[in-house]
Amino acid sequence: MRRFRCPECHKTYTEIHKPTLEGSYISQDRIVLALRLLIEGNSLRSTQRISGLDINTLMKILVKAGERCEKLMARLIVNVPVKDVQCDEIWGYVFKKEFHKWPEEANEEGIGDAYCFVAMERNTKLVLNFALGRRSQATTDAFIEGLRHATSGQRFQISTDGFQPYRPAITTTLSDRCDFAQLIKVYVSDPEGQRRYSPPDVTHTERVPVMGNPDPAKICTSHIERQNLTIRMQMRRLTRLTNAFSKKWENLWAAYCVHFAYYNFCRIHKTLRITPAMESNLTDHIWELPELLA
């Protein structure tokens, strides 16, 4: 972008234009390229080398884009008719893992484990709501309250894993509109032969109805667990067994917001052949990335 200088007062200025993001004068093409690289699983350093942007500029772009995406989903994903919802949590951490924290850092909420609670509609694959926080009752309550805001009054079925805080949260907040059941996995008790990064074997699963009259054939969490794999493959900071991780809580939250907004509105789902937002009748076309930033 060219700059001009007044020969009398020597002030410099540019042509009248609208920045792609607030406070940024980088061209839209470079911002879109940087975000596309981050969305497709590149790290900040590799994105810096490819795009030529400074690492601090990239983080500012990510945070600004996350704010736009958060507002977009809060505005559009409201009162959505659903039939079958699955919920699960995905583990991550900020700055350091929980068991690496020093005693004086024990009460610091900004570092350590960071669980993302995700709710997805099984048929349309639309991510209805997500919440980032500790794996606690408080985070679960906030997550289920957001799910109530996202869904309509039409009755639906909800399936979760055996995490106990789901029971009081769902029975209190969604008792008027859902049938609730949990899929509990029973693991082998003998850890012999297991390695550090291999989970224990599942011997069997138990379908436990909790509230209402859930359909036993639909008590399942396989789809949301597959969604967790998509998250880890497309967010570098959540990829297993790498040195990539979030240093700040707001950066992790922004990355989640951009990922889920892109997944809902821009990314064509293979089984649907359209985006989840189109399948849910929220939009009538496949969005381009600049539309998320508009």
User: What pLDDT score was predicted for residue 195?
Assistant: 60
Q: What rounded mean pLDDT belongs to the chain?
A: 90
Structural domain including 131 reads 3-293
Residue 48 to residues 55, 64, 206, 259, Cα–Cα distance (Å): 6, 17, 47, 19
Q: What is the pLDDT of residues 89-148, one digit of tens each?
A: 999 999 999 888 898 888 888 899 999 999 999 999 999 999 999 999 999 999 999 999
Assign 13 a pLDDT band (cuts: 50, 70, 90): confident
Q: What is the pLDDT of residues 151-209, one digit of tens each?
A: 998 999 999 999 999 999 999 999 999 999 999 988 777 655 556 666 677 888 889 99
**Position with higher pLDDT, 18 vs 175:** 175
Percent of the chain with pLDDT over 70: 94
Assign 248 a pLDDT band (cuts: 50, 70, 90): very high
Strand partners, 205: 185
Mean pLDDT, range 199-228, rounded to an integer: 89
What is the reported pTM? 0.88
Q: What is the pLDDT of residues 254-275, one digit of tens each?
A: 999 999 999 999 999 999 999 9
Residue 129's φ and ψ, nearest 5 degrees, are -160, 155
* Residue the block writes with tokens 């939009």: 283
How far apart CA 63 and CA 228 sit, in angstroms, is 22
Dihedral angle sign, alpha carbons of residues 269, 120, 294, 61: negative
Assign 278 a pLDDT band (cuts: 50, 70, 90): very high
- Cα–Cα–Cα angle for 287, 289, 293, nearest 5°? 105
Task: Look at the chain and report how many structural domains it folds into.
Answer: 1
User: What pLDDT score was predicted for residue 23?
Assistant: 66
Mean pLDDT, range 228-234, rounded to an integer: 93
Residue 60 CB partners (closer than 8 Å, separation 6+): 23, 24
